[in-house]
A and B are shown apart, each in its own frame.
Chain A
Amino acid sequence: MAANIAAQRIKREFKEVIRSEEVAKCAIKVELVGDSYTELRGEIGGPPDTPYEGGVFTLDIKIPDTYPFNPPKVRFVSKIWHPNISSVTGAICLDILQDQWAAAMTLRTVLLSLQALMASPEPDDPQDAVVAKQYKENLAIFERTARFWTSTYAGGPPADDDCSRKISRLMDMGVDRETACVALSTYNWDLERSTEQIFS
């Protein structure tokens, strides 16, 4: 019975999200993966005046049988540098996706809440401790890193030359792009420390 409600709900929600104004502004989008209504793909446009501006972030959404009485399982597919989102797995720390979920919420409210979370991180309740630390201790570097990730992984505006140059330097030493990016991001773009860390 419950699984039935889940599929019914998703069908109706599609209409709602497609109708809504946010889609017109290209800020949020949901589409089916296959035709079972249990797996969906979401998209969020990076909010303006944030390091995520200009990027489009893809989400993996799984609908449990007990939806909407239990929350959907949502994860970032696009890599993102954000205190409440794991830079490794894309797992999200957001109360409405856990115990604060209410059956009256919809995929639209989830996507809008995620957009709001991107605009105002909560570093005191972190999912990624490394990112949260950088956010709290060096906001300028955090913004630079987040912008670089948006450019590299979410199709954002062209990347910071200095960052790209440092990544190339590490790649010249035989390090793959991702390892280089993670090390430099973690060590505040300090080339020497990153190199040391990779080769130690």
Chain B
Amino acid sequence: MSGEEDSAMYYSDDDCGYDAYYNMGDCDVEEVDVKDDPEYFAYETLRVEQVERLLNESVEALSNKLHITPSLAKVVLLTHEWQLLPSAVAYKNNDWIQNLLNPSGGTKLETIGSKLRCPVCFCPAPPEKFSSIACSHMFCNECWVSHFEVQITQGVSTGISCMAQDCGLLAPEDFVLSLLTKMPLREKYQEFAFRDYVKSHPELRFCPGPNCKLVFRSKEPKAKRTICEQCKTTFCFKCGTEYHAPTDCSTIKKWLTKCADDSETANYISAHTKDCPRCHICIEKNGGCNHMQCYNCKHDFCWMCLGDWKSHGSEYYECSRYKENPNIVNESVLAQAREALKKYLHYYERWENHSKSLKLEAETLEKIKSRINAKVMNSSGTWIDWQYLVDAAGLLAKCRYTLQYTYPYAYYMEPGPRKELFEYQQAQLEAEIENLSWKIERAETTDRGDLENQIDIAEKRRTTLLKDFLDV
């Protein structure tokens, strides 16, 4: 990977991380590089304790400002995206929050001698065994605890409300914890509550990686690439799914749903073999590069369109572009449906093909590594001498990844000059990536300068496309 991710702010040290963020102000150390990189995204990595400290700061600020308990402040912040000012305003104006201050008087309970009858279990208990939250609806402590247990077992924590009919008042954390004694449940409650706090905070995101506990914070949350320093998961900060530039979050969701729905049609394409367009011998694709050379007749052709590779020079590369039938509006419904399917398959086929190529190229990288190893062992050069090959493979993966995600973008684009420009740039990127892939697969016979030049061109094409079309 190139060094650009370093521009994101990583902190692992407890002392410098949190405080440094606040003391840094607006001065951006790497401003020069940053402006040039369309994928630049400022975020910091936080551990659980750091997140707790961050949340507690907001809680303290609000509770001091309004003179309310921290637990109550938490409820208000949770329902107002952790924004201090709106929380304070809402607290002063909103009815349900006002209820917290001015209890409605609650309900009169049936008395049996000196005891009260709980409206949930219908059992009598002495008054000191009853509790209520701010709405004053009294229930016996045992019922409160059972209520908490059932809710927590169902994954509810901050959403636990009063048990009275038509009363949705949320139970504050300190009330729940004052009654809940079983350790495992207390822990679960606190764990779920923490999850709710982070999820309700617009600047925070959990790492989507399996079993990863890190949290990321960005002051300007955007659909940008975030990389977990611990588990290396790469994801989109906004929607938490796989990074998808230049496509936006809602489009990629639509596309992936569509692909899942149309899996049958997709199966039809997923056959791995095609026939050589000249000698018709059956060819299995075993590398990532789409520039194919038939092992039998040495014919050069394109895996995607089966056309002659000669027509795929950077000037003429057109096989990424879908050519719509201009008269389609005058055709029958059936013909239109067939055209729609054809269009979808065109984009899906390319999307799927690049995804497969990525996997095959990962295998190529492993092969490169073992070949380098062999060379180093034979004293033909050192690891450092061959490092450029590994870099090239890394860059190829990055470029192809972006290229893969250009297809959903193009599929949903309205026809017009902007789409033409997009598909032109996409075609250019496509051509350069295939060149690079071809050269990497034949790395030993390729001149190092030539390869490095190709790396440079491909990455430039990729950034140009993102600069023009990554709009988040």
Interface, chain A (partner B; CB < 8 A): 1-2, 5, 8-9, 12-13, 66, 68-70, 102-105, 109
Smallest CB–CB gap between B211 and chain A, Å?
30
- Contact of B165 with A102 in the complex, beta carbons under 8 Å: yes
Task: Tell yes or no: B121 within 8 A of A by CB.
Answer: yes
B338-379: CB near A (< 8 Å → 1, else 0) gives 000000000000000000000000000000000000000000
Known: A12-B122, A103-B120, A104-B120. A69 touches B147 (CB 8 A): yes
Smallest CB–CB gap between A16 and chain B, Å?
8
Taking a contact as CB atoms closer than 8 A, the residue among A66, A102, A105 that contacts B150 in the complex is A66
Known: A66-B150, A69-B150. A8 touches B164 (CB 8 A): no
Smallest CB–CB gap between B231 and chain A, Å?
35
Q: Which B residues from 107 to 132 make CB contacts under 8 A with A? A: 119-123
Nearest A residue to B151, CB-CB: A69
Smallest CB–CB gap between A170 and chain B, Å?
34
- Contact of A8 with B150 in the complex, beta carbons under 8 Å: no
Task: Tell yes or no: B294 within 8 A of A by CB.
Answer: no
Taking a contact as CB atoms closer than 8 A, the residue among B146, B150, B151, B163 that contacts A104 in the complex is B163
Interface residues on B, range: 10 to 19
CB contacts (< 8 Å) of A105 on chain B: these are 165
Q: Give A58 to B11 CA distance when docked, in angstroms.
A: 65
Q: Give A2 to B149 CA distance when docked, in angstroms.
A: 9
| Residue among A9, A13, A109 with max Cβ neighbours from chain B (10 Å) | A9
Q: Give A102 to B151 CA distance when docked, in angstroms.
A: 12
Q: Is the interface of B mostly helix, strand, loop or mixed?
A: loop
CB contacts (< 8 Å) of A5 on chain B: these are 121, 143, 146
Task: Tell yes or no: B166 within 8 A of A by CB.
Answer: yes
Task: Tell yes or no: B167 within 8 A of A by CB.
Answer: yes
- Contact of B146 with A2 in the complex, beta carbons under 8 Å: yes
| Residue among A5, A12, A13 with max Cβ neighbours from chain B (10 Å) | A5
Q: Which B residues from 85 to 144 make CB contacts under 8 A with A? A: 119-123, 137, 139, 143
Q: Give A8 to B140 CA distance when docked, in angstroms.
A: 15
User: Can you list 29 A-B pairs, Cβ within 8 angstroms, ordered by A?
Assistant: A2-B146, A2-B149, A5-B121, A5-B143, A5-B146, A8-B121, A8-B122, A8-B123, A9-B120, A9-B121, A12-B122, A13-B122, A66-B150, A69-B146, A69-B147, A69-B151, A102-B162, A102-B165, A102-B166, A103-B139, A103-B143, A103-B147, A104-B119, A104-B139, A104-B163, A104-B164, A104-B165, A105-B165, A109-B165
CB contacts (< 8 Å) of B122 on chain A: these are 8-9, 12-13
Q: Give A104 to B147 CA distance when docked, in angstroms.
A: 11
CB contacts (< 8 Å) of A2 on chain B: these are 146, 149-150
CB contacts (< 8 Å) of A68 on chain B: these are 120
Smallest CB–CB gap between A125 and chain B, Å?
18
CB contacts (< 8 Å) of A9 on chain B: these are 120-122
CB contacts (< 8 Å) of A104 on chain B: these are 119-120, 137, 139, 163-165
Known: A103-B163, A104-B164; 12 extra A-B contacts, CB below 8 A, are: A1-B146, A2-B149, A2-B150, A5-B146, A9-B120, A9-B122, A69-B146, A102-B162, A103-B147, A104-B119, A104-B120, A109-B165
